[in-house]
Amino acid sequence: MMYWELFMRKLRDKKIIPVVGNDLCLVKNQDDKPIPLHRYIAKELTRRLGIPYEGQCIRELDTEFKGSKIMEMTQSIYFQIKEDRFYTKPLEKLAEITDFNFYISISLDNQLEKALRKKRNLKKNELKILEYSVEDNDMQEDVENGSPVTLFNLLGNIEDESKSAFSEEEILENFFSLSNKEEPHPLLADYFMNQINGRILLFMGCDFPDWFMRFIIRILTNKRYMSRKLPHYFFNDEINQYKELENFLKKFKIEINPTEIGQGGNLTAFIDELHRKWSDTIQSQYDGSVLLSYNHLDQEKAKTLKQLLKAQRIRDVWLDIDDLHVGLHQDLIEEEIIKCKVFMPLISKNSLNDDQSYMWTVEWAYIEGRLNADKTNHEKRFEVIPIILDNTARDDVRIPIAMRKFTILELDKYKDTIIAEVKEILTSLKEEHN
C-alpha cells in the first residue's frame, strides 16, 4: 500500500517528480465520456486507413503503415480537436500542487503545459519548457535554472514534427541519448539526470508496452533495478493487462497502484486524493515535522494523539504503522527520524517491556545521536517531548537515562500542555529559520 504520511512528507520536501504519460491527456468522445487522447487518435487513424479498430496504439499503426504518413495524420487529427473537448481536470489538479516544481512528460501533447500556465498563473519566464529530441540538432540547450517551475518534455512536442520522438525507434534513441549524455544535447541530458538524481519518481498513466516500460523506468531512475534504495511509484489503470511487468516491478522497490481509494483505486481517484491531502496541508498553520515513536501495541493511542495535534492545524504529524520500517521504506523512515523538529517517544508498559523493538533500537538510537551532535555543535535544531500513555512512573529505571533528562508528561493529565508546547516549539524554530 502507499504510506500516505511518508509520501506527503517527501512531497513537501520537493523530493517527488511526477512522470506524466499519455493516459492523463483526456478528450471527450461523442458520448462526452473522457478517454485517453492517444486512443481517440488511434481510432480516428484506423477509420482514415480503412481498417477496423482492434485496440491498436498509434505506435503500432506507425510501424505497420510506415509509408502512410501516420505522424502527419496524427497532427491533423490533434489540431482538429476543439479546446473544449479536452478533459483537463486531472492535469489541472497536478498542476496546482505547488510542491511539484519539476514535471516530466512522456506524452507528445502540450496539455500539461497549458494546465500549468492556467492553474499557476505563470508568466512566460516563470515556466521553463525543455523539449528533448535527437532529431533536432539546432535545439537550444538553455538549462539555466531561473524559473520556479520546469516542464521537461522527453518526447518533444506533437506541434513540431522536428522536435518529437514519434516512433518506437525514435523514442528509444531519445532515451539512449539521454542516459549516455551523448550528442546532440549533452548539456541538456546532464541537466536532466542531475534533476532526477536522488528524487522519487511518480509514474502516472504511462501506456508503453511491458519491455518498453522496463527500459524507460531503468533510464529515468538512473539506477540498476537491484541496487535501488529509493522507492518509486507506478500508477496505471490498466496494469492488470501487464501482469509480467507488474510482478517484475514489485520485486525492485516500485509500488504498483499503491493505494485503494474510490471505486477500485483508479488513477483519477488517486490524483483527487493526492490533491485533497496536499490542500489540507497548505491550510495548516504550523510548519515542521512531529514524529510520534511508539510500540505497535499502543497504535490506537498514538493515532489519537496525532489527531489531537492535527486538529490544532499542526501541518506535519507523522507516525509509522506496523512494520513500515521493514523493506523498501526503511531508508526513508530513518531519514525522517533524523529530520524531525519534535520527537515524541510514547512511553508505556508495552514499550518498556519490549526493549528490542524498532522504537528503542533504531528510532531512539538515532535521536540520541542527534542530541549528541547538537551538544557538540552548540546547536538546538529539534526538541524531545517524552509522553507517558499509561500509569508508568516518570522515574521508571527502564526509561533511557537520556530521555529522563527531559520533562516527561502524562498524556491524560497534560493534553493541553503538550499541544501548547509543540506549537511553541514549531513557532520558535520557524522564527529562527527565518
* Residues 14-61 pLDDT 10s: 899 999 998 999 999 888 899 999 999 999 999 999 999 998 888 888
Categorize the per-residue pLDDT at 226 as very low, low, confident or very high, splitting at 50, 70 and 90.
confident
Confidence at residue 135, expressed as pLDDT on a 0 to 100 scale: 67
Please tell me what DSSP assigns to residue 78.
Answer: H
Confidence at residue 369, expressed as pLDDT on a 0 to 100 scale: 81
Residue 326 has pLDDT above 80, yes or no: no
Mean pLDDT, the chain, rounded, equals: 83
Domain architecture of the chain: domains with CATH: 4-26+84-276 (3.40.50), 34-83 (no CATH), 285-433 (3.40.50.10140)
Confidence at residue 323, expressed as pLDDT on a 0 to 100 scale: 44
Helices (H), ranges, 240-341: 243-250, 267-282, 299-311, 330-337
How far CA 30 is from CA of 34, 44, 56, 207, 320, in Å, comes to: 10, 12, 20, 23, 47
Confidence at residue 261, expressed as pLDDT on a 0 to 100 scale: 42
Residue 376 has pLDDT above 80, yes or no: no
Enumerate the β-bridge partners of residue 151: 103, 129
All three cell numbers of 415, joined, read 493534553
Confidence at residue 414, expressed as pLDDT on a 0 to 100 scale: 92
Most confident of 124-138, 194-208, 255-269, 366-380: 194-208
- Give the Cα separation of 203 and 146 in Å (integer): 26
Tell me which of 123-127, 302-306, 340-344 is least confident.
Answer: 123-127
Q: Cell 482538429 identifies what position? A: 80
pLDDT tens digits, 342-371: 999 999 999 999 878 778 777 888 888 888
Share of the chain above pLDDT 90, in %: 29
How far CA 38 is from CA of 56, 112, 113, 205, 344, in Å, comes to: 10, 15, 17, 12, 50
Q: Compare 61 and 121 and report the one with higher pLDDT.
A: 61
Residue type, 3: Y
Please tell me what DSSP assigns to residue 286.
Answer: E
Confidence at residue 113, expressed as pLDDT on a 0 to 100 scale: 92
Residue 136 has pLDDT above 90, yes or no: no
Q: List, in order, residues 6 or more apart from 270 with CB less than 8 Å away.
A: 204, 235, 257, 259, 261, 262
Please tell me what DSSP assigns to residue 48.
Answer: H
- Give the Cα separation of 319 and 302 in Å (integer): 8
Tell me which of 67-81, 114-128, 257-271, 309-323 is least confident.
Answer: 257-271
- Give the Cα separation of 231 and 189 in Å (integer): 23
64 CB neighbour count, 10 Å cutoff: 12
Averaged over 53-78, what is the pLDDT? Answer: 86
40: left (phi over 0), alpha (psi -120 to 50) or beta: alpha
Residue type, 54: E
Task: Name the 3-class secondary structure at 151.
Answer: strand
Confidence at residue 262, expressed as pLDDT on a 0 to 100 scale: 36
Residue type, 294: Y
